[in-house]
Amino acid sequence: MSFSHHDRRPDPRPSLRSLEVFVAAAEHGNFTAAGRALGITQSAVSRQVADLESMIGVVLFLRRGARLSLTPTGGRLVAGLSPALADARRAVAEVASAQAVVTLSMLPSVAAKWLAPRLGGFVSAHPYIDLRVSASRHLVDFAAEGIDAAIRYGPKPAPGLVAHPLAEETVTPVAAPGYVRDHALHAPADLARATLLHGDIPEDWPEWCAAASVPMPPPEGPRLGDDTTILQAAIEGNGVALGRSHLISEDIAAGRLVAPFPTHLKARYAYWFVYPEGLEPTAALIAVRDWTIAAFAAT
């Protein structure tokens, strides 16, 4: 069976782009404004509309100079397309939004003393990333707990993780400026008249005192398990704490703490940015990783 020229029907399968251009032209009433809204030229809009009219075999606009008015058929097509295009944009936005969520695990002390002061910088650099922080002291199960990545403090992470080194650090005594002044802490030996705040970091007071070549003072003073707590106690003038360099940098810069002695003990552990092997990182996760690496380098 054959068809004559008059039996042929136009192929009603225009591209999504041509439909989007048509709706924009209808909404703006001229090709120039539609092109400006879409980021294309007026001639490109005109060509897309002309191709669409040719493809479906109907006139969609009446042209009166630069002004456009919809034909009845064009009006029906806009009425049907506008909600559909809005739904499509909404679906794409929802998928993109889901891809832009990053849940990052870290120690509470790292969240409070390192990340929190820098969070505004992250938001300014990446306003479309929904960063969610899970602060905990245990090694998270990435899949079971819905964690995308983690900032870990420790030795080189175990196999099964992609591990990016962030920074090493040092440990040194810190105290409030008033405490240093009132207790005349000019040299490490002066710690004999200070209250030492004890934490749970691997580097302890006996090890630091050995590095500073001074006798270990009597083990007096409270034992506080978390770095955030021990540093806050020092800020409040309750004694001298051993501070990790990346966690004390903001407090020292702000004058809340001072490091009165020159001896800095190299820490056994380092910071790492990790996520599971086999995970295809999203663009958002890559952005968080790269920002974290740069922010640690700048500390």
> Where do you find CATH 1.10.10.10 in the chain?
9-96
pLDDT digits (tens, 9 = 90+) for 130-157: 999 999 888 888 888 999 999 999 988 8
> Where do you find CATH 3.40.190.10 in the chain?
100-165+269-298, 170-266
- DSSP class of residue 115? I
Q: Where is average pLDDT lowest: 72-81, 188-197, 209-218, 226-235? A: 209-218
Q: Please give the pLDDT value at position 5.
A: 45
| Residue 96, CA distances (Å) to 93, 135, 250, 262 in order | 5, 26, 35, 50
- Distance in angstroms (rounded) separating the CA atoms of residues 275 and 162: 5
- Distance in angstroms (rounded) separating the CA atoms of residues 62 and 230: 76
Could you tell me which of 240, 264, 104, 118 has the C-alpha nearest to residue 181? Answer: 240
The DSSP-derived string for 16-71 is HHHHHHHHHHHHHSSHHHHHHHHTS-HHHHHHHHHHHHHHHTS--EEEETTEEEE-
pLDDT digits (tens, 9 = 90+) for 44-68: 999 999 999 888 889 999 988 878 8
Q: Please give the pLDDT value at position 2.
A: 42
How far does Cα 139 stand from its chain's mean position? 21
- Distance in angstroms (rounded) separating the CA atoms of residues 235 and 228: 10
Q: What value does the mean pLDDT take over residues 157-170? A: 93
More confident residue, 134 or 10: 134
CATH class of 170-266: alpha beta
The rounded percent of the chain whose pLDDT value lies above 90 is 58
Q: How confident is the model at residue 12 (pLDDT cuts 50, 70, 90)?
A: low
Could you tell me which of 156, 180, 170, 208 has the C-alpha nearest to residue 299? Answer: 170
Beta bridge partners of 131: 102
Q: Which CATH number is associated with domain 100-165+269-298?
A: 3.40.190.10
Task: Assess contact for 234 and 174: CB atoms under 8 A.
Answer: yes
Q: Please give the pLDDT value at position 94.
A: 60
- In the numeric block, which tokens belong to residue 3? 């068809």
**Sheet of strand 265-266, all strands in order from the earlier edge strand to the far edge:** 196-197, 240-244, 170-174, 265-266
Q: How confident is the model at residue 6 (pLDDT cuts 50, 70, 90)?
A: very low
CATH class of 9-96: mainly alpha
Q: Are strands 101-106 and 149-154 parallel, antiparallel or unpaired?
A: parallel
Q: How confident is the model at residue 11 (pLDDT cuts 50, 70, 90)?
A: low
pLDDT digits (tens, 9 = 90+) for 85-101: 888 877 766 665 556 89
Q: Please give the pLDDT value at position 117.
A: 94
Could you tell me which of 294, 296, 297, 298 has the C-alpha nearest to residue 125? Answer: 294
- Distance in angstroms (rounded) separating the CA atoms of residues 253 and 267: 21
pLDDT of 35 strictly over 50: yes
- This prediction's pTM: 0.66
Q: How confident is the model at residue 4 (pLDDT cuts 50, 70, 90)?
A: very low
